Structure 1
Amino acid sequence: MAVRADGVRSEAGTALLVLAAVAVCSALVGVLWGWLAPTEQLLVTEPGRGAPLTGESTHQFDAVALFVCAGAVTGLLTAVAAWRLRAMRGPLLQVGLLSGSLIGAYLMAWVGESVAESLHPRPDDPPVGQIVELPTQVGTALAFIVQPLVASLVLLFLAALSPSEDLGTGYGSAFGRYRRSAEFEPIGFDAAVPRAPYGSVYGGYDPATGDGSGSVSRPAH
């Protein structure tokens, strides 16, 4: 069974568009995260050094928690949106969504940290005793796997819930739109062979003309 190259190119192009769309959406969410991420207040104890105030160190966790939640919601929504592309459902769409989510997670962190830096710039040489605000950062690479993980799991979950083997695409192959599933016939049925009328196997017995004796005429040997 040959795979049509034009169908593969179409699906690959759609996967690239999904990748780009997810990356752009993640960057926009990064702007929101950079604006909402809390800052950490430090007391300058000596030139170039500072000590965090009481309770301020917890803002690092708060910033990472907000980033994880933003990535999870972005992965969920982008997976549902990608699933709406009914004709393009398949492995290439999964690859495009996964790649876009992974790139988008890094973009979200980079854009968000840039926005936080612009909103709360670091002072060059603050005097001793001054309280300064420093923008928090993601700080851990483990937070980057949340968005692609959620997106992949949601897409796989939707595929598992699909009642049809072709995921609703109308095609019988995973790549290239080879043929529609409607063209397949049930196993054991040949459309070219006409089906025999009822009763022909039993010698043409007709209940309407029976004598009520319950006997059935048998074909002659």
Structure 2
Amino acid sequence: MTAPLTPPPPPHEQSSQHSWQPPAAGQAAPASHDAVWDGTYGQDGPGMKTELREASVITVVVAIAGALLGVLWWWLAPHVPLVADVVDKRWIVYLSDSEGEQAIGVDGTFTLLALGFGVVSALVVFLLRRRGGVPLVVALGVGGVLGSLLAWRIGVWLGPAEDVVAHAKAVGKGVVFDAPLKLGAKGALLAWSLAALVVHLGLMALFGPRDPEPYPEQGTAPNDPYEAPLR
């Protein structure tokens, strides 16, 4: 006599050996492949407060560097010769060389120096803070404008007296003297900022850090149970 056959358990019933067991005390639960994203990321960068503090320091340092630009502009800019004459007991001041281009050279010298300062400041900021960021870009722009304004005023202060008539009376009639430094093209005040922004953005595009790929290009994770090869 044969033993009666026992029917197999229903498909929805599972053995107690394969049932889920809670993790032991002190042991972390294994990560699930189907875990739901909680909407948070790891902290990227030093934080907004630190970036703003660094941007403030960069703005101040770049602006103070404008003093050096002003000194160089006063030293390297060409001199504009003036001469005075007395007509009907009135002092008249005019250019000694009416065809000279010294006035254009004054603006050109300031612009070239400002462009050089913009390139150097952008390079230094990139080497010190390779990660970049919007606060650093704003700091370069604002600091460049402030530095240019400071350089302009320092150059004028170091140059010849701004009161041309009083200077002409002091040197005498028919004596050639230098005109005060004057920045005719006010757009040169933006040269520093524009050069700094262009160079910094270019360096970031070429040598800046790259963001990791959010998803692999091909294939899936090796531990994906749904893509296990068939045997």
The two structures share one fold, judged by TM-score above 0.5: yes
Residue 26 (structure 1) aligned with residue 66 (structure 2): yes
1:153 equivalenced with 2:181 (yes/no): no
In structure 2, what is the Cα distance between the partners aligned to 1:33 and 1:165?
A: 39
Q: Are 2:86 and 1:41 aligned?
A: no
Shift of 1:26: 1.9
Query: What is the aligned partner in structure 2 of residue 12 from structure 1?
Result: 52
3-state SS of paired residue (1:50):
strand
**CA RMSD, 1 decimal:** 3.2
Alignment of 1:1-221 (within 5 A): 1=40, 7-46=47-86, 47-54=90-97, 57-86=100-129, 88-117=131-160, 123=167, 125-126=169-170, 127-162=172-207, 164-166=209-211, 186=216, 189-190=220-221, 193=224, 201=229, 203=231
Provide closer, same or farther for how the CA distance between residues 195 and 69 of structure 1 changes in structure 2, counting only shifts above 3 A: farther
Between the two proteins, the alignment pairs up a number of residues equal to: 184
Question: Do the aligned partners of residues 128 and 96 (structure 1) sit closer, same or farther apart at CA in structure 2, a change above 3 Å counting?
Answer: same
Per-residue CA deviations over 1:144-194 (Å, capped at 9, x if unaligned) read 11111111111111122136434xxxxxxxxxxxxxx69x67477558647
Q: CA offsets, 1:124-145, max 9 Å, x none?
A: 6243322222233112211111
Structure 1 gap segments, 5+ residues each: 167-180, 204-221
- Asked if structure 2 preserves the Cα contact closer than 8 Å seen for 1:41 and 1:56, the reply is no
| SS of alignment partner, residue 123 of structure 1 | helix
Segment of structure 1 superposing worse, 40-49 or 2-11: 2-11
Q: Which amino acid aligns with 1:201?
A: P
Q: TM-score, normalised by structure 2?
A: 0.67
Cα displacement (A) at 1:45: 1.6
Q: 2:31 aligns to what?
A: none
Q: Is the 8 A contact 1:98 1:151 kept in 2?
A: yes
CA apart distance, 1:43: 1.8
Tell me, in whole angstroms, the C-alpha distance in 2 between the residues paired with 1:45 and 1:68: 33
Contact 1:14 1:88 in 2 (8 A): no
- Give the equivalent residue in structure 1 for 2:34: none
Identity within the alignment, %: 25
Larger Rg: 2
